[in-house]
Amino acid sequence: MIDHRLSPALVLYGQGTILSVRMTATVVLCDSKTVDPADQADILEAADATIEILEEKTEAAVTRAVRDAEAIIVDAQTPVTAAVLDSTSSLQVVGRAGIGVDNIDLDAAVANDITVVNVPTYSLEEVSTHALSLLLACVRAVPQYDRAVKAGRWDWQQEQPLHRMTGRTLGLVGFGNIPRRLASKLRTFGVEVIATDPYVSEARMRDYGVEKVAFETLLDRVEYCSIHVPLYEGTRHLFSAEEFERLSEECIVVNTSRGGVIDQAALVEALSTGEIARAGLDVLESEPPAADSPLLNRDDVVLTPHAGWYSEESQKDLSKGVAEGVAAVLRGEQPDNAVTSDTVWS
């Protein structure tokens, strides 16, 4: 009987006789972000592993793929549920090509002695810049002006009133690595930056020139709100009708974290009733949005296709980073970025 939990370099037979036989581990690649596995191949082959590509991202397909595999690398759209993890005795590691792990059942991974690794620093520059870009696009109504000019309308007054950023207050919901980078970029705009995060100390925020406040205080004070929290039970629909009611009518809401942090129906209602001014969204509750999504026909919403993470450089960092984490586990080493349900996200 073969014990698949051993290192891929060892196979255990019968009464415990260990033969020094090389066994190639299988890594299933189900990830549209790192579509070119060339960088990963070198890293994984060095750990005596081969790659199998899985195109279909359904629970049933993933379950079949991991049945005899030692590792799987996934993106945000791949369901790694308890049913998937309970179905295999060979799987050692799940590599999340990205930061968020809300598509992976972390408790089931722990129960099955499966390590989960992510790449928490690969796109700090890109996402923080993207959040700033969405904010600036909303502040200056750039997409609206662009569409109007291309449609033959030359009228600066169409977007009145616009306001200067200097002297306004921006609230960061979450103060992990990405919002810290964003806070540094905002210094030149003359805005006051406040933040809420139960895992970050007041002193740490002061290091970035940021004031720590309670979540409710942030809602009451800001003209700009940028969301940077992971999605889990405690943050799902963190922004709903009550939160939008507390925000200023001039408030611009930017979300580059996870779509489920915002109650999308409540957001549409808040925009329609003038409870907030605009929204810049890189993430949605359902991606891509349905053809009849009310967000698609609103001039007060700027949308991008979950692209905040992307640059050629970050894609390369991501591909190598997740492969290195997976390879470490396959070699029997402790990976740098192991994730469990107890991980402190900040």
- The answer to whether 258 is a known catalytic residue is yes
- The answer to whether 228 is a known catalytic residue is no
Please check whether residue 284 is in contact with residue 259, taking contact to mean a CB–CB distance below 8 angstroms: yes
Please check whether residue 32 is in contact with residue 310, taking contact to mean a CB–CB distance below 8 angstroms: no
Catalytic annotation, pick one of 258, 275, 278, 324: 258
- The answer to whether 70 is a known catalytic residue is no
Catalytic annotation, pick one of 96, 130, 278, 306: 306
Cα distances from 190 to residues 119, 168, 183, 186, in angstroms, run: 32, 8, 11, 7
Query: How buried is 237 (Cβ within 10 angstroms: 0-12 exposed, 13-18 middle, 19+ buried)?
Result: middle
Q: CA-to-CA distance for 55 and 61, rounded, in angstroms?
A: 9
Return the closest-CA partner of residue 232 out of 204, 273, 260, 269: 260
Catalytic annotation, pick one of 56, 202, 242, 287: 287
The residues carrying an active-site annotation are 258, 287, 306
